[in-house]
């Protein structure tokens, strides 16, 4: 299967690539339509996204709320800046952990690649404080496991 690549670009960006066995239109839709986003943009198993707002126009609002169903959760707000169906999305987003993190500027491109799509996502590298906060959210699998163990102990 197609493997994910992840690399830093200078000291400000992270570039992620991933190939999908579906045309760009389908991958673009899965990145922008709430009923599709809610099926995969979730993090570790067990997390759901009960609130998914995606106003698909430049300036349109983005709001994703995640919960683990056990009282823990966090949310992300943002705005679409540029939309080129079905090839390019530019948006800004910020996590609320619960304090808002600095804006993450993300450009996502979908290019035809044989019978599939090559996605290239270029995002802002979060600052050290944001990285520490993200590590502490439970988005990380190992951490999720430790929380699960803690839950069993309490």
Partner 1 sequence: MANLDAAFSALADPTRRAILARLALGEATVMELVEPFELTQPAISRHLKVLEGAGLIVRRAEGTKRPCRLAPTAVAEIDQWLGMLRRALETNYDRLDGVLAAMKPEK
| CB hemisphere CA count around 44 (13 angstroms) | 18
Binding mask 85-114 for partner 1 (x = CB under 8 A): ------------------------------
Among 15, 34, 41, 92, binds partner 1 (CB under 8 A): 41
**C-beta contacts of 130-133 below 8 A and 24+ residues apart:** 130/95, 130/101, 130/102, 133/95, 133/97, 133/99, 133/101
**146 part of the interface to partner 1, by CB under 8 A:** no
Where does this chain touch partner 1 (CB under 8 A) — which range of 18-26, 56-64, 75-83, 89-97?
Answer: 18-26
Which residues bind to partner 1, rule: CB under 8 A? 1, 4, 6, 8-11, 14, 16, 18, 20-22, 26-27, 29-30, 36, 39-45, 125, 127-128, 131, 134-135, 139-141
């Amino acid at each position: 299967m197609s493997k994910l690549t992840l690399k830093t670009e200078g000291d400000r960006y992270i570039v992620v690539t991933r190939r999908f066995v579906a045309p760009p239109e389908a991958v673009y839709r899965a990145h922008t339509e709430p009923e599709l986003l809610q099926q995969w943009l979730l993090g570790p198993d067990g997390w759901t996204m009960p609130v998914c707002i995606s106003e698909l126009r430049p300036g349109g609002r983005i709001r994703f709320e995640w919960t683990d169903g056990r009282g823990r959760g966090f949310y992300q707000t943002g705005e679409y800046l540029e939309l080129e169906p079905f090839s390019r999305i530019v948006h800004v987003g910020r996590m609320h952990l619960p304090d808002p993190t600095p804006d993450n500027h993300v450009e996502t491109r979908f290019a035809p690649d044989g019978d599939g799509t090559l996605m290239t996502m270029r995002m802002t590298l979060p600052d050290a404080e944001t990285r520490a906060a993200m590590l502490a959210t439970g988005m990380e699998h190992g951490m999720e496991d430790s929380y699960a163990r803690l839950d069993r102990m309490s």
